[in-house]
């Protein structure tokens, strides 16, 4: 849950009532109010577009094998501009207020990533509310609030921390597009069958006949998958390490270890 909220005044009565209930005196939520009148009549869009323009001007020239990094950054800026142009006026004002607030910490460049922009509601997946997750015991049980007996604990067979986070997202954001559901189901079924039928494939491989090649291919795939899962299970949480380095939260030891792992 958010522990810090930026409010662009003036607010509607319903919004003020909601914020009083959520961030009242008894809560530990910090609330900062700022006027959004300076971003009216297109001012918010101009503020955001200037941020991307400055990003392009200040980006250094990269040569040789590092030119791809510059191309990726320009592509991110382009997607970011497209995302800003497609935003409603009220959303653009809220984003401009966020940029203005982040400038005090030197973190406004985080907004420039095009991958950060996506609709709050999507046609491909659902966003279950906190009440639905609690009633269905998706992440925690209703007895003592622990993970024991929850759907996540029952179905989680991942071997890495980043895999567990991805599976958690799958449970809390179930797909609602039929084609995506079938594609995910087919991929998981293929991996599961390859891993589960490894012993059967080995025994069939010893028999002569037309199925020998197919059994051999499935056995080889199972061996490769086993090796990959073993390697991933022994690896560090690279996703968390990269995130900490990106946000300048990592120690020198963590940065050195993460760089050596990626090299």
- Whole-angstrom distance, CA of residue 206 vs CA of residue 186: 28
Lowest-pLDDT range, 92-96, 100-104, 230-234? 230-234
pLDDT tens digit sequence for 3-24? 888 888 888 899 888 888 888 8
DSSP secondary structure code for residue 236 in this structure: -
Cis-peptide, bond into residue 10, ω within 30° of zero: yes
- Whole-angstrom distance, CA of residue 32 vs CA of residue 6: 5
Taking 80 as the threshold, does the pLDDT of residue 171 lie above it? yes
Taking 70 as the threshold, does the pLDDT of residue 143 lie above it? yes
The two structure tokens encoding residue 164: 């567990």
Taking 70 as the threshold, does the pLDDT of residue 71 lie above it? no
Q: Residue 117, class by beta-carbon neighbours within 10 Å (0-12 exposed, 13-18 middle, 19+ buried)?
A: middle
The confidence band for 246, taking pLDDT boundaries of 50, 70 and 90, is: confident
What is the per-residue pLDDT for 68? 46
What is the per-residue pLDDT for 60? 47
Contact 161, 237 (CB under 8 A): yes
What is the per-residue pLDDT for 203? 52
Indicate whether this model's pTM tops 0.75.
no
- The closest alpha carbon to 123, from 71, 169, 180, belongs to 180
Average pLDDT over residues 51-75: 53
* Bigger pLDDT: 78 vs 94: 94
- The b/e string for 146-170 (b: 16+ C-beta within 10 A; e otherwise) is eeeebbbeeeeebebeebeeeeeee
The confidence band for 37, taking pLDDT boundaries of 50, 70 and 90, is: confident
Q: Residue 72, class by beta-carbon neighbours within 10 Å (0-12 exposed, 13-18 middle, 19+ buried)?
A: exposed
Per the listing, tokens 């491909």 go with 124
The two structure tokens encoding residue 179: 């084609």
């Amino acid at each position: 849950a958010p522990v810090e909220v930026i409010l662009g005044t003036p607010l509607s009565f319903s919004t003020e009532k909601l914020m009083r209930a959520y961030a009242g005196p008894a809560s530990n939520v910090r609330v900062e109010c700022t006027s959004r009148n300076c971003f009216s009549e297109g001012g918010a869009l101009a503020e955001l577009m200037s941020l991307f323009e400055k990003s392009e001007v200040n980006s250094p020239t990269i040569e040789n094998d590092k030119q791809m990094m510059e191309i990726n950054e320009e592509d991110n800026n382009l997607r970011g501009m497209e995302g800003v142009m497609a935003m409603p006026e009220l959303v653009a004002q809220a984003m401009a207020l966020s940029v203005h607030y982040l400038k005090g910490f030197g973190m406004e460049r985080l907004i420039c990533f095009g991958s950060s922009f996506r609709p709050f509601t999507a046609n491909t997946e659902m966003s279950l509310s906190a009440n639905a997750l609690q009633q269905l015991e998706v992440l925690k049980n209703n007895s003592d609030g622990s993970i024991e007996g929850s759907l996540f604990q029952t179905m989680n067979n991942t071997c890495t921390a980043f895999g567990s986070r991805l599976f958690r997202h799958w449970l809390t954001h179930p797909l609602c597009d039929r084609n995506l559901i079938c594609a995910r189901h087919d991929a998981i079924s293929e991996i599961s069958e390859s891993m589960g039928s490894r012993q059967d494939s080995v025994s069939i491989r010893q028999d002569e006949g037309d199925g020998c090649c197919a059994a051999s291919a499935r056995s080889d795939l199972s061996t490769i998958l086993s090796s990959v899962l073993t390697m991933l299970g022994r690896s560090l949480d690279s996703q968390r390490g990269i995130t900490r380095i990106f946000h300048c939260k990592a120690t020198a030891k963590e940065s050195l270890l993460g760089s050596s792992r990626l090299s």
